[in-house]
Structure 1
Amino acid sequence: MATLDQILIDLDSESETEDLVLLYSLSRKRKKSKRSAYLGARSTRGEFLLTEEVPDNVFSGCFRLNRMQFDEVHKLIKSDITGRECNAQKPMRSEEKLAVCLRYLATGDMFKTIAASYRMGERTVSNIVSQVCDALWLRLQPIYMPTPSKELWEDVSLQFERKWQLYNCVGAIDGKHICIRKPIHSGSSFYNYKQYFSVVLMATVDAHYRFTTIDVGSMGRFSDGNVFFNSRLGTMLHNGSLELPDSKPLPGQNEVTPYVFVGDEAFPLMPNLMRPYPKLRVTNNFANKVFNYRLSRGRQTVECSFGILSTRFRVYKRPFECKLETIDKIIKATTVLHNYLRTKVVQSNSVEEDDELMTTHSDSNLVPLQQNRIRGSRQAFLIREKFKDCFSSAQGSVEWQRRAVENGHY
């Protein structure tokens, strides 16, 4: 079929050419004005206008931030997401960009449905989510997830000792598979042992359910050992560059014991990483059961953190359908927003809301890593024995541990 340009070339009559050009221009104008009328109503009929009218509880439910927190976060990232005027048109308001991104993170709706509600293009929503997530990580990370230091680890250890009676502990560690749509031309690189496509989020948390370190983006096909050892935390633990505090004796002991992370069976036993005794070692062994119970008390903080994260930000409730680089940005943004909100809860001593969020749901796309069968070193076994002896001693025991073990909590 001939194009309009070809028809114009073939025409001899100037009048016929002018008529066709006029019809073509009018048709283009009609199409453009029809589309502009829909998108142009964003400032008068878009969903963002409703945010000024809805009650505070509805506002918090839609964006996971109350109005005061929304304004505080907006001030931090405003300079990074404010657009420039183009073709005499005013740029989209930075508050609206933040609202669109938070709406996506809080609900997990498709870009298409959010675009229809806010009267903007689907590609525009995608670009806004990427831009705002970048800004959230850039501005909030130095404040609410700072680079680990010796002072930070000492503070985390003090938290675990006071709140969970776990000594020389600098954090709980765990990794989760996050379900994604199969990336184009990726083959089976992201296909995990649960038989779906995923990326891995490896994280450590403190005693108040705040993330201290995260590692994002490992392919789901990698085994648990590969994911851990190739993560930044695993590399630093292996080469001793994590700047952990100097070793100190456990209660009731004279020999020094290093500071450790606590994890589940997905992680190897290392001098700075403790895991539970296997099931065969706890049968008819009360001291080993006590160790597993005390370890699980501290380790459950990371499980609760993931539970709060996926319940608060329901974008984790369905497979991600974005580009891989956008998925990494979303995960980083949600974890640092989680820390921001948890810090507010800790400062206000308010736990009612997060107690409800700690309940994990079966439809969450955060699935544990596969169990690890790598045998630990002799030094790591000796360190675990020290912790076991401490937990069973008069100085290191807690009054409820016997009752808990007798009830099967180990």
Structure 2
Amino acid sequence: MQYFTICAMEDTDLSSDSDLDALINCTLLYAATKFKRKKRIWKSSYLRKRETHGEFRLTSEFSDDQFTNYFRMNRMQFEEVHNTIQNKIYHEGSRAHKEITTKEKLAVFLRYLASGNSYKSIGYSYRLGDRTVSKIVNEVSAAIWECLQQTFLPDPTEELWKQIAKEFEQRWQFPHCVGSIDGKHIVVKKPAKSGSSYFNYKHTCSIVLMATVDANYKFITVDIGSMGRFSDGNIFSSSILYKKIQNKTLKLPEPDMISGGEKELPYVFVGDEAFPLLENLMRPYPKRKVTANYENKVFNYRLSRARQTVECAFGILAGRFHVFRKPFEIKLASVDNVVKAACVLHNYLRMTSTATNVEDIADEELLSDQLTSIRYNNSRNSRNAFLVRENYTHYFNTTGAVQWQRDSILRGKY
């Protein structure tokens, strides 16, 4: 073709329109043929070495302790999670693009949770494009929630509520408590064209994670995605949990007698001053009512002991998954998926670990630097809610009293 073009140029009279058109057609044909012959390079040489030099390949050299520290789960747990979700995240590779294995996808997602590094940083270490990392994080987080949620974060039933209440009574001496509730601001990068919708009282942009936790620091319910500007009681009042409490559709057991008690008491959640006082939600007495009132101090202390489980759970979550230590710089829909997956993995690890994780104890005090509390609530409370709190107060100071509560009050723990 190249020879034909040269000959055409030697023998062609360029002043003739027909000869000029023929020369142009020959030149275009030559260019098209040359383009077809050129082998297309689908990725750089750096990315082509993913299988031999990528970080996932190097993790096979880790010791058991290094593997657990790197992925925040041991090899057996990694394999179990992988076997559960692999059918959801498997895709056949094309001829030009060799398939990324399901194990490598899970590894990328777990490393993102554990480190909190950007997609670009993860991409460099795993020799993947940052857009590929983004797709993997979305795909794996959705698969983890879909496959593990029913087992490790199921919708509570009446039997489950009773089991949770029994554990709270045995471990934290608060009978009929079915969960500790709190909400935390998860800092995110300001979404485009969002105005002040996500701007919170700490002058950052955030969405809210509203959660209830059982006596063993496991999440019972999670509600994610409320805008950060709703920093008062509006966050809880707009949550699904509040609506179910008000509509009596939460499947809570009917009020009954507490062992040694004199009156039937409802099953309740415990929260701090950010929440309203409801028949099924206890909050502490305000400071003005505990200054010279020993009985109210006892109630506040006993409630605080039970309520600390949710603070510890958030601390463990942020201590284990460092992605919560930095602002999320990804899309809000992706943040929701990542947070839900992190919560269900937190429960999975709490239920499958054979020994107490040292991080659980060490990281309980990390919360104030990572997840911001929601603001206090000054909403009005019903009379029945006041009566329920008074009945609990009476119980904690009579037949439900424990030996060490007086010493704790004297030390100022209320």
What is the match of residue 356 of structure 1? 362
Task: Give yes or no for contact 2:314–2:367 (8 Å, CA) kept in 1.
Answer: no
CA distance 1:86–1:25, shift in 2 (3 Å): closer
Separation in structure 1 between the aligned mates of residue 102 and residue 141 of structure 2, nearest angstrom: 13
Deviation of 1:37 (Å): 2.2
Corresponding residue SS for 1:109: coil
Deviations, residues 96-141 of structure 1 (Å, cap 9, x unaligned): 0000000001000000011111111110000000000001101111
Residues 260-409 of structure 1: pairs in structure 2 closer than 5 A:
260-345=268-353, 348=354, 350-364=356-370, 366-393=371-398, 395-409=399-413
Residues 16-95 of structure 1: pairs in structure 2 closer than 5 A:
16-18=27-29, 20-21=31-32, 29=39, 32-33=40-41, 35-87=43-95, 89-95=97-103
The counterpart of 1:249, out of the listed 257, 266, 269, is 257
Task: Give yes or no for contact 1:11–1:17 (8 Å, CA) kept in 2.
Answer: no
In the superposition, the TM-score normalised over structure 1's length comes to 0.92
Residues 152-231 of structure 1: pairs in structure 2 closer than 5 A:
152-231=160-239
Corresponding residue SS for 1:173: strand
Corresponding residue SS for 1:76: helix
Deviation of 1:83 (Å): 0.9
Separation in structure 2 between the aligned mates of residue 112 and residue 104 of structure 1, nearest angstrom: 11
Structure possessing the higher radius of gyration over alpha carbons:
2
Deviation of 1:381 (Å): 0.4
1:118 is the counterpart of 2:126 = yes
Deviation of 1:196 (Å): 1.0
Corresponding residue SS for 1:33: coil
Task: Give yes or no for contact 2:42–2:96 (8 Å, CA) kept in 1.
Answer: no
Further displaced range: 134-143 or 249-258: 249-258
Corresponding residue SS for 1:35: coil
Task: Give yes or no for contact 1:174–1:302 (8 Å, CA) kept in 2.
Answer: yes
Separation in structure 2 between the aligned mates of residue 176 and residue 257 of structure 1, nearest angstrom: 29
- Gap runs ≥5 in structure 2: 1-19
Corresponding residue SS for 1:176: strand
Q: Return the letter of the residue paired with 2:351.
A: T
Separation in structure 1 between the aligned mates of residue 132 and residue 22 of structure 2, nearest angstrom: 41
Separation in structure 1 between the aligned mates of residue 355 and residue 34 of structure 2, nearest angstrom: 69
Task: Give yes or no for contact 1:308–1:359 (8 Å, CA) kept in 2.
Answer: no
Deviations, residues 175-203 of structure 1 (Å, cap 9, x unaligned): 00100001111111111111111000000
Separation in structure 2 between the aligned mates of residue 314 and residue 349 of structure 1, nearest angstrom: 22
In the superposition, the TM-score normalised over structure 2's length comes to 0.91
Task: Give yes or no for contact 1:43–1:49 (8 Å, CA) kept in 2.
Answer: yes
CA distance 1:71–1:149, shift in 2 (3 Å): same
Deviations, residues 207-247 of structure 1 (Å, cap 9, x unaligned): 00000000010111113311111111010001111111121
What is the match of residue 241 of structure 2? 233
Separation in structure 1 between the aligned mates of residue 87 and residue 357 of structure 2, nearest angstrom: 33
What is the match of residue 3 of structure 1? none
CA distance 1:326–1:95, shift in 2 (3 Å): same
Separation in structure 1 between the aligned mates of residue 133 and residue 98 of structure 2, nearest angstrom: 17
Task: Give yes or no for contact 1:229–1:235 (8 Å, CA) kept in 2.
Answer: yes
CA distance 1:244–1:362, shift in 2 (3 Å): closer
Q: Return the letter of the residue paired with 1:399.
A: Q
Deviations, residues 312-361 of structure 1 (Å, cap 9, x unaligned): 0000111111111100000000000000011124xx35354421232325
What is the match of residue 5 of structure 1? none
CA distance 1:343–1:227, shift in 2 (3 Å): same
Task: Give yes or no for contact 2:89–2:102 (8 Å, CA) kept in 1.
Answer: yes
Task: Give yes or no for contact 1:251–1:390 (8 Å, CA) kept in 2.
Answer: no
Deviations, residues 75-99 of structure 1 (Å, cap 9, x unaligned): 0001001112323754210000000
Q: Return the letter of the residue paired with 1:376.
A: N
Task: Give yes or no for contact 2:232–2:377 (8 Å, CA) kept in 1.
Answer: yes
- Gap runs ≥5 in structure 1: 1-8
Corresponding residue SS for 2:215: coil
Separation in structure 1 between the aligned mates of residue 105 and residue 181 of structure 2, nearest angstrom: 34
CA distance 1:14–1:161, shift in 2 (3 Å): same
